[in-house]
Amino acid sequence: MTTDVEIDAELGESPWPGEAEATRAIASLIETTIRKRYPPENRPARRDAHPKAHGCVRATFTVVPELPASLAHGVFVPGKSYRAWIRFSNGSSDPSRADAKGDARGMAIKLTGVPGAKLLPAESDAQTQDFVLLNHPVFFIDDPRQYLALFRRGGSPNPLVKLTAPFAIGLKGVLITRAIAQKQIANPLHTRYWSTVPYRLGDGAHKQAVKYSARPCVPHANDRIPDNPDPNYLRKAMASTLAAGDACFEFLVQPRRSPAMKVEDSQTEWLESEAPFVKAATITIPAQAFDSDAQMAFGENLSFTPWHALPEHRPLGAVNRVRRVVYEQISKVRHELNQAPREEPAPWP
């Protein structure tokens, strides 16, 4: 495991004090938690975050033919289409948590058939590109030291110390966490998602900082959570939608328009009124049955990280740098405990 990573000072990256040490400690704490949570009698081992999947579905990701040249980098080749796998999930570490309870919701997209060397040295030959999104426009933390303090206090055996855990991330972080924790949705296929943190688009003289979003092609303002909902009603809602027909998202890119939009500030939204989103692709999820045991197991064996990426889509900021180390280490641990191969998938047939 290494925390060494390029810093793009030209786009505003700057390591936080103690970042490397905090990152290693965070990864170690999460690994210890997973190994304790999933002894041999409690397998398969699941992700530490987003362990409850609603489904992993087949999709196509088609770049718009008229994409502006300023955005036509990496996988954004005008008119090009990729087959993709998309996993929808709840954020809570408790995979048995009922869907009706407020929670972060995730949309993890894995494009396949993507040529070119990727950023992770161990998977440089992988033919995949990931985009990791949440149903909230900002993240609750940006300083890795605060992230570490949150984990340490939250895992303390002392109830009083555990009670102080939220204060480790400051008032702004607490307010964001509360907003995310109160989110309820009616259908993962009818929900908007954001990257929350920035990415580089392009390279060399053409590079810029951007954020991403996936927005349903058609608004679903009339969606309602069922009365007395099933604990897994979000999976049932997805299944019902895809039994009736296709689902569709617009994949959007938000170029940074002001130096005030800092890549190391994950807690401040880049307002659309100041930095409009531009449609880069259409995601089509064809009608399908996805909730067989085999398909659910396939989705659980996948690993998603923003570092499964071409250099033209390099993640920016401390949250992404922490993810690089933590996601890789936890994926290795999970696959080790499950005695499962750790490999990137082929395009769906």
pLDDT at 6: 86
Q: What is the pLDDT of residues 85-137, one digit of tens each?
A: 999 999 999 999 999 999 999 999 999 999 999 999 999 999 999 999 999 99
Residues with Cβ < 8 Å from 126, sequence gap 6 or more? 118, 120, 308, 344
Cα distances from 195 to residues 136, 157, 166, 250, in angstroms, run 8, 34, 23, 14
Before 44, cis peptide (omega within 30)? yes
Q: Which residues of the chain have pLDDT under 70?
A: 1-4
pTM above 0.85, yes or no: yes
For 164, half-sphere exposure in the C-beta direction (CA atoms, 13 angstrom radius) is: 10
DSSP helix/strand/coil, 337: helix
pLDDT at 1: 40
**74 in Cβ contact with 212 (< 8 Å):** no
**335 in Cβ contact with 341 (< 8 Å):** yes
260, exposed or middle or buried, with CB in 10 Å at 0-12, 13-18, 19+? Answer: exposed
Cα distances from 266 to residues 142, 226, 242, 277, 294, in angstroms, run 5, 34, 34, 18, 37
**110 in Cβ contact with 86 (< 8 Å):** yes
pLDDT at 224: 92
pLDDT at 4: 65
**Ordered DSSP codes for 166-224:** GGGGHHHHHHHHHHHHT---S-GGG--EE--S-EEES-GGG-EEEEEEEEESS--TT--
Rg value, the chain, Cα:
19
Whole-number Å distance between alpha carbons of 160 and 148: 18
pLDDT at 2: 42
DSSP helix/strand/coil, 110: strand
**53 in Cβ contact with 85 (< 8 Å):** no
Residues with Cβ < 8 Å from 297, sequence gap 6 or more? none
Q: Would the CA dihedral through 325, 50, 304, 301 be positive or negative?
A: positive
CB neighbours of residue 287 within 10 Å = 11
Domains defined for the chain, CATH in brackets: 9-337 (2.40.180.10)
pLDDT at 3: 52
